[in-house]
Amino acid sequence: MKRIAMTILLVFSIASCTSAIRPDLMEQGNRNPSLAALIQSPEMYRDQLFILGGIVARTTLKAEGSEIEALYVPVDGWGYPQDITSSNQRFLALYPREKGILDPLVYHKNRGISIAGVFTGVVTGRVDEMEYVFPMFRIMQIYLEPKRPPPTVYYYYPSPYIGPGWWGYSWGPW
């Protein structure tokens, strides 16, 4: 019985240490690139593999595939996106059509992602009414963070109890 319990515990501990991105891609890719450096010297970094995280701003279906615009966030050593610090950089990532589509209802605004993507260059686009230069990646693998339930908030109202207590005599909630 002890041996079965230890085996189950071992399996769960190994499974909990999996990375968001395949280990071979994690080893080959450069984690958390400087998007400013990619924009300044695109030819120097073209066709290199990068591992980066993001918060989805929008997902658009195009003829060549699914395009995600995301706010850049760094990833940890396992490839999971970290919390937003003070990132103000965005990137575009294209999921090729031959791999399938990324449905905009699933990959919607404010969802966390991690990608292993090959840098293809820079693209000029718009963020609202402002012209913006985006680093562009071709997605090799993508990880979508699971939805987190909203935090539960409990509201405590004054007790309707009337009578003596350790705090003295109470006449009710007023």
Return the domain boundaries, the chain: 19-147
Determine how many CB atoms are found less than 10 A away from the CB of residue 97. 13
Please give the average per-residue pLDDT across 70-82, as a whole number: 93
Residues contacting residue 50 through CB under 8 Å, at least 6 positions apart: 29, 30, 31, 33, 116, 117, 118, 119, 137
Count the alpha carbons within 13 Å of 167 in the hemisphere toward its beta carbon.
7
Q: What residues form DSSP beta bridges with 20? A: none
What pTM value is reported for the model? 0.76
pLDDT for 51-69, tens place per residue?
999 999 999 999 999 999 9
pLDDT tens for 15-44 read 456 889 999 999 999 999 999 999 999 999
Quick check: helix, strand or coil at residue 93? strand
Residue 15: the pLDDT is 46
Can you list the positions of beta strands (E) in 16-174?
30-31, 49-62, 65-73, 90-96, 112-127, 130-144, 163-165, 168-170
pLDDT of residue 17: 61
One-letter identity of residue 113: I
Query: What does the pLDDT average to over 122-136?
Result: 96
Q: At 2, list the tokens.
A: 């002890």
Q: What is the CATH number of domain 19-147?
A: 2.40.50.140
Classify each residue of 135-147 as buried b or exposed e, where b means 16 or more C-beta atoms within 10 Å of its C-beta: bbbbbbbbbeeee
Confidence of residue 155 (pLDDT cuts 50, 70, 90): low
- Model confidence at 160, pLDDT cuts 50, 70, 90, reads low
Q: How confident is the model at residue 147 (pLDDT cuts 50, 70, 90)?
A: confident
pLDDT beyond 80 at 141: yes
